[in-house]
Amino acid sequence: MKVRVQVPATSANFGSGFDCLGAALDLYNLIEMEEADGCRIEICDDAAVPADETNLIYTTARDFYARCGRPFPGLHIRQWNGIPTARGLGSSSACIAGALLGANELLGRPCTLDELVDLAAVAEGHPDNSTPALLGGFVAAAIDGDHVIACRCPVPEGLGFLAVIPDFELKTADARRALPDTVPRADGVYNLARSAVMAMSMAQGRLENLALGAEDRLHQPYRLGLIPGAEAVFGFFREQEVYASFISGAGSTLMALIPAGRAEELSAAARAFLDREGLHGWQVLALGPGQGAAVHVI
By the rule CB under 6 A, 78 interacts with ligand HSE = no
With CB under 6 A as the contact rule, the residue among 128, 143, 160, 215 that binds ligand HSE is 128
Q: Which stretch binds ligand HSE (CB under 6 A): 11-19, 51-59, 181-189, 203-211?
A: 11-19
Using CA atoms, how far residue 102 sits from 12, 40, 113, 152, in Å, is 23, 16, 12, 22
- Which amino acid is residue 162, in one-letter code? L
Pick 237 or 246: Cβ nearer ligand HSE? 246
Contacts of residue 45, Cβ cutoff 8 Å, sequence gap at least 6: 80, 81
The Cβ of residue 284 has, within 10 Å, a number of other Cβ atoms equal to 17
Q: Backbone phi, then psi, for 99, in 5-degree steps?
A: -65, -45
Asked if residue 209 lies in contact with residue 176, where contact means CB atoms within 8 angstroms, the answer is no
By the rule CB under 6 A, 171 interacts with ligand HSE = no
Q: Which stretch binds ligand HSE (CB under 6 A): 29-37, 114-122, 170-178, 257-265?
A: 170-178
The Cβ of residue 280 has, within 10 Å, a number of other Cβ atoms equal to 8
Number of residues that bind ligand HSE (CB under 6 A): 14
What is the length of the chain? 298
Pick 104 or 253: Cβ nearer ligand HSE? 253
By the rule CB under 6 A, 87 interacts with ligand HSE = no
Pick 213 or 249: Cβ nearer ligand HSE? 249
By the rule CB under 6 A, 172 interacts with ligand HSE = yes
- Which amino acid is residue 11, in one-letter code? S
Helix residue ranges per DSSP H, the chain: 56-67, 91-106, 113-124, 130-135, 172-177, 185-204, 210-213, 220-223, 230-239, 263-277
Report the 3 state secondary structure along 142-201. EEECCEEEEEEECCCCCEEEEEEECCCCCCHHHHHHCCCCCCCHHHHHHHHHHHHHHHHH
By the rule CB under 6 A, 126 interacts with ligand HSE = yes
With CB under 6 A as the contact rule, the residue among 9, 12, 23, 163 that binds ligand HSE is 12
By the rule CB under 6 A, 216 interacts with ligand HSE = no
By the rule CB under 6 A, 19 interacts with ligand HSE = yes
By the rule CB under 6 A, 40 interacts with ligand HSE = no
Please report, as residue ranges, which positions from 173 to 202 form the binding site for ligand HSE (by CB under 6 A): 175-176
Using CA atoms, how far residue 38 sits from 51, 62, 69, 298, in Å, is 13, 11, 18, 21
Pick 66 or 192: Cβ nearer ligand HSE? 192
**Peptide bond connecting 248 to the previous residue in cis, omega within 30 degrees of 0:** no
Minimum distance of ligand HSE from residue 160's CB (angstroms) = 21
Pick 35 or 187: Cβ nearer ligand HSE? 187
By the rule CB under 6 A, 123 interacts with ligand HSE = no
Give contact residues for ligand HSE (rule: CB under 6 A): 12-13, 18-19, 88, 126, 128-129, 172, 175-176, 219, 249-250
